[in-house]
Amino acid sequence: MTQTVSINNNQRLQLEPLSTPERLLLGPGPSNAHPAVLQAMNTPPLGHLDPAFLAVMDEIQSLLRYVWQTENPLTIAVSGTGTAAMEATIANAVEPGDVVLVGVIGYFGNRLVDMAGRYGADVRSITKPWGQVFSLEELRTALQTHRPTILALVHAETSTGACQPLEGVGELCREFGCLLLIDTVTSLGGVPIFLDEWGIDLAYSCSQKGLGCPPGASPFTMSPRAVEKLQQRRTKVANWYLDMTLLHKYWGSERVYHHTAPINMYYALREALRLIAEEGVENSWRRHQENVEYLWQSLEDIGLSLHVQREYRLPTLTTVRIPEGVDGKAIARQLLLEHNIEIGGGLGELAGQVWRVGLMGFNSRKENVDRLIEALQQVLPK
Amino acid sequence: MTQTVSINNNQRLQLEPLSTPERLLLGPGPSNAHPAVLQAMNTPPLGHLDPAFLAVMDEIQSLLRYVWQTENPLTIAVSGTGTAAMEATIANAVEPGDVVLVGVIGYFGNRLVDMAGRYGADVRSITKPWGQVFSLEELRTALQTHRPTILALVHAETSTGACQPLEGVGELCREFGCLLLIDTVTSLGGVPIFLDEWGIDLAYSCSQKGLGCPPGASPFTMSPRAVEKLQQRRTKVANWYLDMTLLHKYWGSERVYHHTAPINMYYALREALRLIAEEGVENSWRRHQENVEYLWQSLEDIGLSLHVQREYRLPTLTTVRIPEGVDGKAIARQLLLEHNIEIGGGLGELAGQVWRVGLMGFNSRKENVDRLIEALQQVLPK
């Protein structure tokens, strides 16, 4: 080793080992991971082609099908956060020129519009005020007007706390010959989903919300109809990392190297999914619903009001209206720094108008509601 | 919650908590993580906009600059594995029609060709037999012929074990007015790199090799010259997740939400980088070199020969020629299942011809060489 250049030590920080405050994460995500999940994540890594690791991948695939209620063979975890899995649905399903119709009821609908455009789609959108949802009639009219190849909707809008009803939408999409793409980032594990029954063709999610796992490996699935569109592409998928024509050879029976999986994230995801299978996904949905109703009641009891009409409220994420004259940012900061509780602020149209309170996965427990309400009572102006 | 569909329990596996064999990972990566890194990764997650987490991100940025020996302001960790960081360099630097010249000396050069094509580049390539490297004269001739916008080279070819010399290449690229893009996946932390001195404009790496961290968060950097090209783009970056015009607002002073970072992976990466800063990056390079020379000698002592000419051999990854008549796959399998040691097989042109032995990061220690040699003596035919 000949080394003729001298070392630059400008950026050589001398640090202590990591030390962080213990927060209760009641924002829009991440939520706190289950202790057993953190423990699984800490297992020393295996190689990404080790037979013992391939078995872990197979278990993840089955359990993802279970929580999504689907039999889709192509059901995997993408090696990135939920946004990467979102991009994976678009990258694989969209060919340049495809008409993609996006229903925008909040921030993440807009993100789908931006992404689909980058993959060359002819993007059309329909919108509703943030906090509302589309009726089946509105969707029918839009499909008639735009005749899209793909209809993309957000099931659980993390920016508004509204739940888009999906019953009947799949039939509608079949009637108009288009694929149905659904964002389930804030619903998977916490909100009833029946992917196959509802005729959903493409879906993605994240690990750090309803599944109670740290972020970094993200659920992705494609129906056989969507796979058919993938197989008939005239152009390569415009994203190498997320190309399912390559990835399915790693996750499927061929086991061809594609990229080095985030091994420990998959350990964590397997444990999170295992815990849901143990609880039963319908019990997890029920738990989320019961605890959020307790949250709603508790918030109203201290004089706060909620942004979304009751029947469309998510069990995972609640938007609370910031009372007139209150500095929402200052309150959230006080909760964080004085009480170690994180809640979120509003995004986009709702910036400055609402707080966002998540009760997701391992965090969906009554004691967390009590802790939040107690802290809120201390920091809110009397 | 009205639930009219009945639950499908077909995929509801009943599993025990994770239990995996303890492997010594001496393949091309991942390598074993330092125990302190695993411990840091296990810290309960913070929110991705928590001031305490933003401080962790700043520390990562500084320490990445240190290990790469650069002062590039735009130096971050991408929320994915090394392949995602590779794609990030291409996605941000390439506009449709740009001439991208790729030097192919192995598998990962070919991957760059494929990726650059997907982003609309007019891709040209020059090749050498796998195991060899380009001379400065060969690169000059190719730049004269192709006049590219970007020259992309692999510093440490993980598929061959060869190290491409980079001194002088940056000057050459400036002479021809092109950007220099370098794959440092298998070199960062283990092989001397002086990004600024060598005039490198775009580089990426991974966490699970020379840095001794699990895979899942990946170093990425752009020089001010490369940022200038990014700012002058006529088209949006064709990849939302990896778009640095958005990501730099999260990593920089604006702190605008882009996606939820893989929090625990960043904890792990911070600790891995902290350990290198403590050791001193030049000491880490020296340690890798000393231990690999011990490996080479030990392999030759038991009658094996090495694929790459000595002066171009990597200190992180060694290709060992499979002796005539030996079933390379069977030997690797025996090492794994009987001795819990993982080594890699050949990729592409070298499939069936070589084993790949990594000594990277925390794993670059003499005792690991001894353990491998002892096991090899037991499994190799006498």
User: Is A9–B215 a contact, with Cβ atoms under 8 angstroms apart?
Assistant: no
Average pLDDT on B31-44 reads 96
Residue A244 shares a structural domain with residue A296: no
* Domain end position, chosen among B277, B308, B343: B277
Residue B253 shares a structural domain with residue B330: no
pLDDT tens per residue across span B122-169: 999 999 999 999 999 999 999 999 999 999 999 999 999 999 999 999
Task: Work out the mean pLDDT of chain B and round it to a whole number.
Answer: 97
Residue A263 shares a structural domain with residue A375: no
Any residues with CB less than 8 A from the CB of A67 and at least 6 apart, and which?
A: A188, A189, A211, A219, A273, A276, A277, A281
A150-154 vs A179-183, strand pairing mode: parallel
> Which pLDDT score is estimated for B4?
75
A74-78 vs A218-222, strand pairing mode: antiparallel
User: Is A81–B262 a contact, with Cβ atoms under 8 angstroms apart?
Assistant: yes
Average pLDDT on A203-226 reads 98
Residue B213 shares a structural domain with residue B340: no
Q: How confident is the model at residue A374 (pLDDT cuts 50, 70, 90)?
A: very high
pLDDT tens per residue across span B97-135: 999 999 999 999 999 999 999 999 999 999 999 999 999
Task: Give me the numbers of helices (H) and strands (E) for chain B, helices first please.
Answer: 12, 14
Contact B157, B108 (CB under 8 A): yes
Residue A206 shares a structural domain with residue A294: no
pLDDT tens per residue across span A23-45: 999 999 999 999 999 999 999 99
Q: How confident is the model at residue B1 (pLDDT cuts 50, 70, 90)?
A: very low
The percent of chain B in helix, strand and coil, each rounded to the nearest 5, is: 40, 15, 45
Q: Which B-chain residues 271-310 have CB contacts (< 8 A) with chain A?
A: 271, 274, 277-278, 280-282, 285-286, 289
pLDDT tens per residue across span A78-112: 999 999 999 999 999 999 999 999 999 999 999 99
pLDDT tens per residue across span B220-271: 999 999 999 999 999 999 999 999 999 999 999 899 999 999 999 999 999 9
Contact A283, A293 (CB under 8 A): no
CA A258, chain centre distance (Å): 24
- Please check the confidence at residue B375 and state whether its pLDDT lies above 90: yes
- Please check the confidence at residue B289 and state whether its pLDDT lies above 90: yes
Going through B27-134 in order, the beta strands assigned E by DSSP cover 75-78, 99-104, 122-127
Q: How confident is the model at residue B382 (pLDDT cuts 50, 70, 90)?
A: confident
Any residues with CB less than 8 A from the CB of A306 and at least 6 apart, and which?
A: A161, A296, A299, A300, A313, A318, A319, A320, A321
In the numeric block, which tokens belong to residue B52? Answer: 């305490």
Residue A127 included in any domain = yes
Contact B54, B252 (CB under 8 A): no
Place of tokens 């972020």: A215
Residue B190 included in any domain = yes
CATH label of the domain that carries residue A121: 3.40.640.10
CATH label of the domain that carries residue B366: 3.90.1150.10
Distance, CA of B294 to CA of B378 (rounded, Å): 19
Closest-CA distance of chain A to residue B382, Å: 27
* Domain end position, chosen among B254, B277, B300: B277
Biggest alpha carbon distance in chain A? Answer: 72
The CB-side HSE value for B172 (13 A sphere, CA atoms) comes to 21
User: What is the percent of chain A where pLDDT is above 90?
Assistant: 98
Residue B259 shares a structural domain with residue B352: no
Q: How confident is the model at residue A2 (pLDDT cuts 50, 70, 90)?
A: low
Residue B17 included in any domain = no
User: Is A263–B197 a contact, with Cβ atoms under 8 angstroms apart?
Assistant: no
ipTM, 2 decimals? 0.97
Residue B221 included in any domain = yes
- Please check the confidence at residue B3 and state whether its pLDDT lies above 80: no
Residue B254 shares a structural domain with residue B315: no
A156 has which bridge partners?
A163
> Which pLDDT score is estimated for A373?
98
B156-157 vs B122-127, strand pairing mode: unpaired
pLDDT tens per residue across span A308-363: 999 999 999 999 999 999 999 999 999 999 999 999 999 999 999 999 999 999 99
- H or E segment to which residue A154 belongs: strand A150-154
Distance, CA of A263 to CA of B155 (rounded, Å): 25
Residue B327 included in any domain = yes
Q: Does A334 touch chain B (CB under 8 A)?
A: no
Distance, CA of A44 to CA of B32 (rounded, Å): 7
> Which pLDDT score is estimated for A135?
98
SS3 B72: coil
Contact B150, B179 (CB under 8 A): yes
> Which pLDDT score is estimated for A137?
98
> Which pLDDT score is estimated for A301?
98
A153 has which bridge partners?
A182
- Please check the confidence at residue A10 and state whether its pLDDT lies above 50: yes
Q: Which B-chain residues 20-49 have CB contacts (< 8 A) with chain A?
A: 20-23, 25, 27, 29-30, 32-33, 36, 38-48
The percent of chain A in helix, strand and coil, each rounded to the nearest 5, is: 40, 15, 45
Residue B12 included in any domain = no
Residue A190 included in any domain = yes
Residue A272 shares a structural domain with residue A292: no
> Which pLDDT score is estimated for A1?
46
Distance, CA of B351 to CA of B336 (rounded, Å): 18
pLDDT tens per residue across span B324-347: 999 999 999 999 999 999 999 999
Residue A316 shares a structural domain with residue A259: no
> Which pLDDT score is estimated for B2?
54
Average pLDDT on A158-173 reads 98
Residue B286 shares a structural domain with residue B183: no
Burial grade of B175 (CB within 10 A; 0-12, 13-18, 19 or more): exposed
Question: Which residues of chain A make contact with B39, given a CB cutoff of 8 A?
Answer: 42
Distance, CA of A260 to CA of B86 (rounded, Å): 13
User: Is B17–A33 a contact, with Cβ atoms under 8 angstroms apart?
Assistant: no
Closest-CA distance of chain A to residue B128, Å: 23
In the numeric block, which tokens belong to residue B140? Answer: 């000059």
> Which pLDDT score is estimated for A3?
59
- Please check the confidence at residue A176 and state whether its pLDDT lies above 80: yes
Residue B179 shares a structural domain with residue B202: yes
Nearest-by-Cβ selection for B240 from A20, A115, A268 = A115
- Residue B167 is classified by DSSP as T
What's the number of domains chain A is made of? 2
Distance, CA of B121 to CA of B99 (rounded, Å): 6
Is residue B356 marked as binding? yes
Residue B190 shares a structural domain with residue B76: yes
> Which pLDDT score is estimated for A53?
97
Average pLDDT on A242-261 reads 95
Residue A9 included in any domain = no
Closest-CA distance of chain B to residue A238, Å: 5
Residue A119 lies in domain? 35-277
* Domain end position, chosen among A277, A298, A328: A277
